[in-house]
Structure 1
């Protein structure tokens, strides 16, 4: 199957989602209108989730050509699960490579998202945009996690351009926020990250 882009709406063959990570020419993927999804798990990657079970002689590359990934309108999405056993200190990233060309991650209207996956720290992301999370106008874990030294920051600090609710947290690699003067509404949108499948 040769495809450079895909748009998956709720109810459109959810069993096929686990196959997407193996499509060699998929460059753009938009997941939208998944109203009941609470968790995006390792099934999204097309694997069972632990490093220990992925012991193959050749490295595994998931989403080998993906450049842009967008999640749009997943109002119950709370968790985006990474891989159990994934660690920068170990050789995990040598046996499994996830999204080696991902440059843009866009998350819109996913107002209750709490966590980002651990593998993001190993991607070459240039842009992270979180916006339109209309439910998040109060302080939330992911929103606060987008701040320097907070929860999700170790996973995203390498991304040169991080924009949350139309305000840059980091621009061209320079942190933009004075945490003492930061209004909570600017980061509220960032906490809109939850789970799939």
Structure 2
């Protein structure tokens, strides 16, 4: 649509400033994202401590890093996520505004479209966290706890079905590797790609 294209071009040139509008939503969204990530990180700590007690003989007195570490990590990761999403958010919002103007929806109609768009974005963010960011948070917690528990190895575990990518299969095929070494795809732990369902498991290096 010509009008939509014009709006997007103006947005790219900085002639339309959506930052004040986005800032109204951004602080709340960032707080929600960070809070969810902190909870996921802590759950990852719990999983590692359970593994240590039952399989590695780690003393029960070990309780993992303080919760403040999870909160600090989650706050930084949440802020980065919101920043990375701003470009996409602005593009979608610009399209809604352009469409509303072209179809003469008026202020009330345009307001409804904007609210609907942001509600949809919130759903998208939730799905993103539930899939990709859960893997990121759990892997970070696992790697942090492996170091604290003195575990020297790790291995890549896939979902084991036909949807597993070649990169993830190659990582799994390496078996147990040193904890501080990258897998063959270049990452330290899952996720390898958006919606990655793989996990990283603590392991002892062969002696």
Tell me if both proteins adopt one fold, taking TM over 0.5 as the criterion: no
Hey, which of these two has a bigger chunk of strand by percent? Answer: 1
**TM-score scaled by length of structure 1:** 0.21
Hey, which of these two has a bigger chunk of helix by percent? Answer: 2
**TM-score scaled by length of structure 2:** 0.21
The higher radius of gyration belongs to 2
